[in-house]
Structure 1
């Protein structure tokens, strides 16, 4: 091993290895071929193992083989082989059966590899003597293994030490129960798997321009792996390169090319092990429960475990990748670093790389500032097309890395592994999730049609700048950036027009006297679409609707993200005022007074039961958390249990209870999926059980119950944020003390109204920044009309659009007053035609302050 490692160091330089790896990544076709065939080889060996065992899932056994590969490359002395039977044992598979079948499978592997090596030796340049010396040790090993199996099967009298007697007896019994037919079938399946293993060296040879026929690649691969039956370094470093180099030379490859090819091939196998191998490893049954840190975090319906400090921090870290704006920057940065790895020793490259980062930074900020929601995403693809047209540059390796890494993250890590480990979704969720990602319209990283053009423009732009760095190139790029930036501004001004108008009128109806309700319980069904709730069979919610008041046009706020919406719901303020603009919260805490603050000041208590990311808005003192690492079928029961515990321990005047399974189902499976409707129906039963518990203990005496949602969900992965139609309207049902029975209202209202309503019912002032108006109490505000004053100077073209967006039902009568401050165009006439209630004209331009005073006087 030492000699082999020394030879590798002597014959291949780091730059040669880096160049070889770079060329591989720039050949996505050959790399995809390698990954596909290499994975198929493991699948075939899993099938052969299943034949020997007679029980078990091929999918799970494949995961065990991939996990064994990871351990073999991470640890010395082939640790994966030792762990393999331990990982395979489970329902129906004893440790003895797993161990025996593993040993037999490895013997079959060695026999097949030796057979391939011997059969293909005539095609090499070796003589008979050299050939025998090369495969002799392997043949001896195979013979010894076969003899051991025969002895164990026959039960021949062989002296066995007492401590090993029981173990060997188990092995002997297992060998006896494996038929000759099973051995032969397993060998027949194993043979093509090791031929496919050669795809690694063959694909690498094609990329590096080494002439290596398919049969030679199979012979070289078989010989190399035979020499790795035992090794003492992670992945057999040194032995692998040395043995493969020798085999390549025997097939006519020159020594220099052989060493580079062997080293590069081994590097690719390491990369495969720590990416694809790791991803497949989690398919082993129970792997999530065997991960002790995760097991300590996991909650259940019967425990309602707190979200740990680690989970709160992990949730914040996840939101960096989950929210689209920070994801773009982090993802592009990671891709650019990965593309720079082959140039690690080139100081000149890193200088150009750094200048390239400075050049693309302004465009990255444009992409961070503007979301390009829904149909505006078309402009991003236009920007990508403009780049290709103007700069005429494409780096296929970079494109493959961007698209491949994006799908590995969104579909593999997020849609399959993350949802499997956190909420118990099946690992096969990727079979549906990839389609949801392609159509998803929300502001998360799962928005393919927004993220891919943004990332490609930045990555390709950087690669072009690195290759052609100069004053002219930088100037051309900055001009392109300016064009995209100006276009973004104009697009958002002209076409981003579908957001519901948000009231800026302070809460008008106040009750700072006697409370109407002894307690208010707000149940927020996270991510529940109002239209899908109507479709579902929800007898308990239907009963509340009949006994109370429903608002059929309650609208969420923009952007419709959970933290943003809860913050508006419980402060009554707009996102611009409370400062929570997404689930990614770089500055913790709402920036204005909340209901909980008001209640504390008034000597009352309020608590919010939910998951960790609501802590970012309201703090640990207010939020009673439940770990989100809970199976989706149990999370609502756990949240309800925590709600019961809070009621018993603190008897709060306000309890806000978040229910999460509907939202999670929509994200994992889609809100148009039948499972989403089923989960709404389950949630109805959960609410009924919680309310029944409250009735039994007297918590609903003189109480008011509000059932609502923070936002709906759109197409794709339950997308919400950019206000597609099904995201905007959320359910709102109020019942109990102070609420009329059987009433229904269809006028537009906002979730900011929830805070004002709760404050009114509990007899406390609304939060200071509240612009919501009180719902369902049957009392109208007695103040005068609301005046909207619009000073205008030469605004005849813009004024009709502005007037059209003024809300005419913002908690009372709204009067629009336009002050034409000496315009020289038809501003006054446009104001009258657009429906202004009062138009005041100045004879000359007197300035904004004078126009505002005129409006106040009017």
Structure 2
């Protein structure tokens, strides 16, 4: 059995923007910042969606390696092709079994721990599919995975029965628009009163599904969203009290994070109507006569029936004329450009996987300020009213995510690191701190800059921000990336904007 020097409690706040953390709104998260180290330049991946980001967390890799290319995608390998909504835990389990365990095409932390004879547990109030993604092979290793709402995402059955006998039945999902309060309290209590005392897992993921859902229906700065944030922070305070009284002495390290940020919807559009007007026959799922599938959601994912270069060029030529279009990505023609003129190569945002759509795009975003004083606005395509929170694209506020570490393995005392870091870096750091090998599949790096004693070692080398540019006709798009050693982070992407590159940034035009 591999030695395990440190146990870890990973606590996630779904959709929490880092700039919403302060001593008034989130006193307990702010307390952790004072006790530990803050990753002030923490980023997520593209697409900045939950069920892309959390697979990136547990695999330590981008979508190009793990294959979860969106909250929803078209499975071209299925016969017939099928539309996959990854919120569905039962469907994910079926795909995993049908593919001989290859739901994700990279190993996860749960698998690596299980093979080493170590344990990982999951407590989550997200969708059932998200809960399964945290450790989709928990059954194989006899590990615990519990949902705050959905029995179909839970395992083993005897543990769920034990939990329900002690804590009561899993609560239903609250009415649409109401903050999800009860379940956040439940999973906190399960950890404190049952999971830790009885099992003391080597790694626990405790994922609060808020404030993401509240933001989608009330606005990122809305009263009900702030209620959800405050409640999750209070529940986190219970965890932090336990950690200071007991967990810290037991060698537990805390990592607090979020999977993405939010920006605000301001102008509703219809991608399907726009494509129809240019002569395409679009729909939201494959079918007879459909020449382009428009996957529903804030991430533009377009799957062509005819995948010829000619048809792809035609599709991109139609997109660049739309006022709502942001950055566009297709398979690579060279190191910068996609095969359709005007598009970037998809490998620049690490989405070049067999499951990826023929064309990715983000909606055009801007730095407008919403009614709550929050920066970041966007075009959008859903039936909800303007003013509500969204994510999935490349605006810096969507990519910005929470990152705080604390414990004996890390620098403390309120240390702040301005070195870019990302959600893919968490698992390599955990493995390194416990002397475990880091698989070649992982694209993240070890966060040496916040590890205790880092002041005595050479810090990572941070490169100059690199700006790439391409376009077609009057459409122009920019993508900015920053490297730390050999790891590359996404700073943001813009189209037809006046976004100014940082002083000293290198520019590459196609």
Task: Please give the TM-score of this superposition, normalised by the length of structure 1.
Answer: 0.32
| Counterpart check, 1:766 vs 2:460 | no
Gaps of 5+ in 1: 1-511, 788-795, 815-832, 837-858
Distance of 2:38 and 2:459 partners within structure 1: 25
Max radius of gyration: which structure? 1
Match of 2:149 among 616, 622, 627: 627
Q: Match of 2:304?
A: none
Say if 2:12 and 2:207, in contact at 8 Å, map to a contact too: yes
Distance of 2:40 and 2:461 partners within structure 1: 25
1:767 and 1:522, CA in 2 relative to 1: closer, same or farther beyond 3 A? farther
Q: Match of 1:608?
A: 122
Alignment partner of 2:188: what SS? helix
Say if 1:665 and 1:675, in contact at 8 Å, map to a contact too: yes
Q: Match of 2:66?
A: 578
Q: Match of 1:552?
A: 40
Q: Match of 2:51?
A: 563
1:805 and 1:543, CA in 2 relative to 1: closer, same or farther beyond 3 A? closer
User: Counting helix residues as a fraction of each chain, which structure ranks higher?
Assistant: 1
Q: Match of 2:394?
A: 723
Distance of 2:234 and 2:485 partners within structure 1: 35
| Counterpart check, 1:807 vs 2:496 | no
Distance of 1:803 and 1:721 partners within structure 2: 17
Residue 677 of structure 1: how far off its partner (Å): 2.4
1:657 and 1:804, CA in 2 relative to 1: closer, same or farther beyond 3 A? closer
1:57-206 matches, within 5 Å, as none
Alignment partner of 1:534: what SS? coil
Distance of 1:727 and 1:656 partners within structure 2: 22
Match of 2:258 among 709, 713, 726: 709
Gaps of 5+ in 2: 72-84, 87-91, 97-102, 151-171, 175-179, 266-387, 464-468, 490-504
Distance of 2:425 and 2:12 partners within structure 1: 14
Deviations 1:701-738 (A, max 9, x none): 22211111111122144211123332211111111111
Q: Match of 2:22?
A: 534
Higher RCO (Cα < 8 Å, 6 or more apart): 2
> What RMSD, in angstroms, separates the aligned Cα atoms of the two structures?
3.7
Q: Match of 1:665?
A: 214
Distance of 1:662 and 1:784 partners within structure 2: 33
Distance of 1:763 and 1:749 partners within structure 2: 21
Say if 1:626 and 1:638, in contact at 8 Å, map to a contact too: yes
Deviations 1:54-94 (A, max 9, x none): xxxxxxxxxxxxxxxxxxxxxxxxxxxxxxxxxxxxxxxxx
1:574 and 1:797, CA in 2 relative to 1: closer, same or farther beyond 3 A? closer
Distance of 1:802 and 1:682 partners within structure 2: 40
Task: Please give the TM-score of this superposition, normalised by the length of structure 2.
Answer: 0.52
Deviations 1:759-818 (A, max 9, x none): 22333223441111122114498899999xxxxxxxx999xx99985633245899xxxx
Say if 2:462 and 2:484, in contact at 8 Å, map to a contact too: no
User: Counting strand residues as a fraction of each chain, which structure ranks higher?
Assistant: 2
Residue 565 of structure 1: how far off its partner (Å): 0.8
Residue 654 of structure 1: how far off its partner (Å): 0.5
1:807 and 1:579, CA in 2 relative to 1: closer, same or farther beyond 3 A? same
Q: Match of 1:746?
A: 418
1:811 and 1:681, CA in 2 relative to 1: closer, same or farther beyond 3 A? farther
Residue 651 of structure 1: how far off its partner (Å): 1.4
Deviations 1:253-274 (A, max 9, x none): xxxxxxxxxxxxxxxxxxxxxx
Q: Match of 1:732?
A: 403
| Matched residue count | 297
Say if 2:181 and 2:231, in contact at 8 Å, map to a contact too: no
1:761 and 1:834, CA in 2 relative to 1: closer, same or farther beyond 3 A? closer
Q: Match of 2:80?
A: none
Distance of 2:216 and 2:488 partners within structure 1: 40
Match of 1:681 among 230, 233, 236: 230
Q: Match of 1:18?
A: none
Say if 1:785 and 1:813, in contact at 8 Å, map to a contact too: no
